[in-house]
Chains A and B, each alone.
Chain A
Amino acid sequence: AQKITQTQPGMFVQEKEAVTLDCTYDTSDPSYGLFWYKQPSSGEMIFLIYQGSYDQQNATEGRYSLNFQKARKSANLVISASQLGDSAMYFCAMREYSGNFNKFYFGSGTKLNVKP
C-alpha cells in the first residue's frame, strides 16, 4: 500500500486566492511526522511545514498551514494568498519514528500553477 497519497497531479489557483493540496497517509505507527516540501523548477527541496502525530494544534508557518485530521489520516497543505512564486511541485512526506526511523516516504507530488 502507498504510504503517502497525493491525488492531485496538477492544480491551478488564481493569484491571491487560497489553495488546498491534498495528502493522505497510511501508517500503523503511533509516532510519526508529516512534512510538506516545495520543489521549484531549479530542483531544490524547500521545507515548508511539519506536523508531529502528537501535536494537538495544526501547524502554521506564515502563509502555510497544515490541516491535520488524524482520524482520517490526512494532512492537507493550505496556502493562503497565493503568489506567482508559489508555482512549483509540492511533495507531502512522512517519517515513522518507531519503525524504520531513517525512512522518509514521499508522495507523488502536486504541480501547482498560480495564475496572474
Chain B
Amino acid sequence: GAVVSQHPSWVICKSGTSVKIECRSLDFQATTMFWYRQFPKQSLMLMATSNEGSKATYEQGVEKDKFLINHASLTLSTLTVTSAHPEDSSFYICSAQGLAGASYEQYFGPGTRLTVT
C-alpha cells in the first residue's frame, strides 16, 4: 500500500523558535496533502489543504503566517511552525491523496509530536 512518512516523529523546541515538519509520499505522487492537528484525546482538526505548486488553503481560525505550508513537489509538503509557543504543542498529522488513486484514497503519515518548552 501507499506509504506516507513524516519527519521528525517528535521534536522538542524552545519557545520563539521555528520548527519544520516534513511529509513525504514515498511510493506515489501526491497532488494534494492535508495537515491536521490533534490535541490529546481529541479528534483531528484540519488545518490546511495544500496542492502541489499552489498556495495552501487554510481553515478558518488557522493563522497562515504562523503555520507556513509549502508543497513544492508531488512527493513533499512541509509545515513550518514559526515562533512556536507552548500552546502550539500538539500532534501534527499529514495525509496525502494520490495522483492516480481512487477518489477515496487518502493515506496518513505517522504523525509528529511537537512539544514547545
How many A-B pairs have beta carbons closer than 8 Å: the answer is 49
CA distance A44 to B9 in the complex (A): 11
- Which of A44, A47, A108 makes the CB contact (< 8 A) with B42? A108
A43 x B43 contact (CB < 8 A): no
Q: A35-B104, A95-B104 given as contacts; is B43 within 8 A of A109 (CB)?
A: yes
Which of the segments B17-25, B63-71, B74-82, B106-114 contacts the partner chain? B106-114
Chain A: interface size category: 20 to 34
Q: Which of B34, B44, B113 has the most CB of A within 10 A?
A: B44
CA distance A102 to B95 in the complex (A): 11
Residues of A within 8 A of B107 (CB): 47
B13 at the interface (CB under 8 A from A): no
Task: With CB as the reference atom, state the residue of chain B lying closest to A52.
Answer: B104
B93 at the interface (CB under 8 A from A): yes
Residues of B within 8 A of A109 (CB): 42-43
CA distance A50 to B107 in the complex (A): 13
Residues of A within 8 A of B93 (CB): 43, 45
